[in-house]
Structures are given as C-alpha cells and as structure tokens.
Structure 1
Amino acid sequence: MSGSSRETTRFAPRVKGSGVQKVYEQLKASILDLSLEPGAPLDEVSLAETFGMSRTPIREALVRLAAEGLVSQLPNRNTIVAPIDFGALPVYFEALTLMYRVTTRLAAGARTRAHLEVMRVHQAAYARAVREGDVLGMIGHNRNFHATIAEAGGNPYFTGLFIRLLDEGRRILRLYYYKSFNDHLPRKYVDEHDALVAAIEAEDAELCDRLAAEHASQIVAQIQRYIAVDRTRELSLASGA
C-alpha cells in the first residue's frame, strides 16, 4: 500500500472537534479489516489533513493503537500499521484457545438474562452475515458475540485480554477470507454458537468448557490450513509441446 495521504482518504471522512476517539475508532476499523494493510505508513501530517484537525489528536490516537499492538513506531520515528507476526501464531493460538474456554466457563456461572439477550442479538447478526456472505460482518459479529460471553463472565482482566486477542484475530481471518470463502465452516459456527448460548443459559460449566475448546480448535485449524497450503503441488511445469 503506497502513498499514506491517498490511502487515508479512502477510509475516513473529515471530522470536527477534538475527535481523538473518532480517529482512533476509524483507524482501528481500517487496520482490522485490512483497508490499511500491515506495514502501511501512517503519516501524522497526511492523517491530520484527511481528518481535518491538528496533529495532536492524531498522535494521541496512534499512541492508543500502539498500546494495543496495532501500530508500530520505527527507529526513524515513522509510524506504520503493525505487521502480523506469523512466527508468534503458536503462542497466540494457545492464549486464544485458553480465553475461549475460561470466559465461556465463567459465563455459565455469572451470566444474567440481559447477557443472554445480547449474546442472541450478536448471534442473530452473525447468522445473517453468513447467509448473506458478508465476510466483514461475520468477522465483526463473531468478535462481538464472544466479547459478550467474556463480559458475562465478570472478570475484566480476562475480558480485556480476550477482546485484544479477538481483534488481533480479525486481521488474520481477513487474510484467510481474501483468498477464498467457503461458507461450510461459518454455517457450522452458527450451530456451535447456538450450542454455546444454550450451555451458558443452562449454567453447565463443564459443557461450556468442552464446546468452547472444540470451537476454538476448529478456528485455529482453519487458519493453520490456510497458512500451510502448498499451491505448488498442483502446478505443472511440464512443457506443453
């Protein structure tokens, strides 16, 4: 992705006021859906022009994004969208799977009727996105569904960590869906989400743990298959003569 000024105009209209939160939210959304690709430059001057404000709120928004690991500052003080560290995926998957399990298990013992209602709202939105083939919708609603489960568990430390992991995973899933889309697994995830909600409502912690572990395992395997695909196996180099 080239030309930070040209790129930033694609995702953000001008906004008025201090706008730190708006800049933060719009940049974050563009990073997570890969409108701003890993490694893309984030020039404060160009961003300030795009958003129609001074560099101070831009700088503050970038600091927040850096704290979440979504942007990186280079030794020359230039800022870029943080690269995706594929070498760290094994430990990322470990943390993600653990958070799926612990947050779902805790939700079984602490959920309220209001939590269940919000889970079902996000689940319905996810199912609708699957039916419509809306990739960004699926990724976003899936994140919100599991974030609500974490919030129902009542541990803000687990919730904060899990949301960060879910957001980081949105970039990885978007890479996967760039190349191909097969709705078999998303349709299966609809049923698995329904089963998770039913287990949480029944306050069955053991079942929640098992279902969450199986759900996380399939997501991890889905991403691993994409990363490990070898397209050269079916590539013929034989002469056509």
Structure 2
Amino acid sequence: MSDVLRRRILTMELAPGAVLDEMALSEEFGLSRPPVRELMRQMAGEGYIELEANRAARVTSMSYQSLRNFFLVAPMIYVATTKLAAENASRSEIDALKLIQKRFRTAVEQYDVDGRVFYNDQFHLQIGEMAHNPYLMPSLRRLLIDHARIGKIFYRHPNNPQMQDDLETAARQHDEIIEAIERRSGDAAGDLVRAHLDLSRRNMAMYAAPEGLESPIGM
C-alpha cells in the first residue's frame, strides 16, 4: 500500500491537497483502519501527507512559496548528496543507478510521463542512498516529493519539441552524473547536478507560472 500511495502522489494521480479517504483505502488494500492510520502517520513524517487535528488527511499541498523554497534549498542538498555519492558509492550501488537510468531513458523514448517522473525520482533517491549520510536523507526525501510533482507539471507537454529536447538533455545529464561518480569526481558531479536542477527551474518557469504573473522561482 505504501509504495502504491507514494507513486500516486509523486505522479500526481493524487493531486496536491487531495483528501485521502481512510475507509476507502482500507477497503482497497484489504487492511483494517489502524494499520492504514499508522501508514499515514509514517507518510506524514516523510512529507507526503498533511495530518491535522479534526481534519481529513490530505496530500501535501504545493504553493508558490513551497516551490520557491524548493528551488532555494534543492541545489544545496542535491549537490551535497551527489558529491558524497562520488566519494562513497559502492560498485553495486552504481550498477543499481545505471539500471534506474536505463528505465528512465526507456520512459523518455516511449513518452511514458509517469515513468519519467518515477524513475527520475528513483535516480536521485539512489544517489542520496549512495551518499551514506543519514543527516541529508530526510531533506532529500522531502525535496524529491516536490521535484517529482514539478516534473509531472512540465513533462505532460509531450507535443512540444523543446520539451523532448530538454528530456534528452536531462537523460544525458544523468549519464554524465553517473560517469562523474564512477570517476570519484565529486566536484564534477556536483556541477552537473546543479545544471540538471537549472533545467528543471527553466521548465517550471515556462509551464507553471500563470500568464502575467511573475514566477516565484525566477531569481
């Protein structure tokens, strides 16, 4: 159940702010309500769900302020985890990263929007695991939730030639990040992931800012 809900939130099948019906989830997954409540508490701690007293559980909302906060903090966390991954990753972890990247490329080639979102999330999560630093992981996990949802916003424009070019650029950047990690070049890996985030920032400004309203991430 937890993996299904996480994927639904990351791909925005469950929209930001959507109410989560505890009884419906219990019936769907064949669980009693206490384990469903416990799972919701766990997912709230990870940042997927908002729990408030006397109010139904909801998918964590997104706002201009939250997006601004994302783009302010994301470079710090992503650069730190990627540089540490270059120092600490094992061979098996790098091989796992390559497998995720293969699946991401397949999703790009097949115009699989949800696959692009999910495997991009898995790519950066795997890098975080490879960093082997428990202090960074909670922040990275929270950032990845909105990174995935931002991705879903601009990946859903498949007929735009510029979008497909940007997807190819993102896939190529993934390959270059892997190569830098394999070379144990933390500085190069950090520079590459920063450029990768800049690509997300440009796409977000293009597709998410309403006409006539200044994007909160144009800074």
Which range, TM-score by smaller chain? Answer: 0.7 to 0.9
Aligned partner of 1:154 in structure 2 is 132
| CA drift at 1:129 | 0.9
Paired residues for 1:130-141 under 5 Å: 130-141=108-119
Structure-2 separation of matches of 1:41 and 1:175: 20
Q: Which amino acid in 2 is paired with 1:219?
A: S
> Which amino acid in 2 is paired with 1:208?
A
Match of 2:216 in 1: none
SS of structure 1 residue aligned to 2:58: strand
| TM-score, with length taken from structure 1 | 0.79
RMSD: 2.0
Pick from 125, 132, 147 the counterpart of residue 169 of structure 1. Answer: 147
CA distance in 2, matches of 1:185, 1:160: 29
Q: Is contact 2:22–2:37 with CA below 8 Å preserved after alignment?
A: yes
Corresponding residue to 2:179 among 198, 221, 224: 198
- One-letter identity of the residue aligned with 2:76: L
Distance (whole Å) between structure 2 residues aligned to residue 160 and residue 98 of structure 1 = 14
User: Per the alignment, in what secondary structure is the counterpart of residue 53 of structure 1?
Assistant: coil
Contact 2:26 2:32 in 1 (8 A): yes
- Using the alignment, how far apart are the partners of 1:131 and 1:231 within structure 2? 34
Q: Distance in 1 between matches of 2:78 and 2:179?
A: 16
Aligned to 1:216: 197
Q: Specify which of 12, 29, 42 is matched with residue 20 of structure 2.
A: 42
SS at structure 1 position matched to 2:203:
helix
Q: Distance in 1 between matches of 2:212 and 2:154?
A: 15
| TM-score between both structures, scaled by the size of structure 2 | 0.86
SS in 2 for 1:156: coil
Q: Are 1:226 and 2:207 an aligned pair?
A: yes
Aligned residues: 209
Unaligned residue ranges in structure 2 (runs of 5+): 214-219
The C-alpha deviation readout for 1:34-90, integer Å capped at 9, x for no partner, is 222222222222322333332111111111122222222355332222221322212
> Is the counterpart of residue 187 in structure 1 residue 165 in structure 2?
no
Amino acid at match of 1:82: T
SS at match of 1:83: coil
Contact 1:133/1:183 (<8 A) preserved:
no
- Structure 1's unaligned 5+ residue stretches are 1-21, 233-241
Q: Deviations over 1:92-113 (max 9, x none)?
A: 1122111221111112222221
2:10–2:117 Cα contact (<8 Å) kept: no
Q: What is the letter of the counterpart of residue 142 of structure 1?
A: N
1:76–1:127 CA distance, 2 compared to 1 (3 A): same
1:114 aligns with 2:92: yes
Residue identity matched to 2:12 = L
Distance 1:162 1:74 in 2: 23
- Report 1 or 2 for greater relative contact order, CA contacts < 8 Å, sequence distance ≥ 6: 2
Partner of 2:15, secondary structure, is coil
1:33–1:174 CA contact under 8 A, matched in 2: yes
Cα offsets for 1:124-157 (capped at 9, x unmatched): 1111111111111111111111222222222122
Matching residue within 70, 82, 92 for 2:48? 70
Question: Contact 2:81–2:131 at 8 Å: present in 1 too?
Answer: yes
Is the alpha carbon distance of 1:177 and 1:212 closer, same or farther for their aligned partners in structure 2, counting shifts above 3 Å? closer
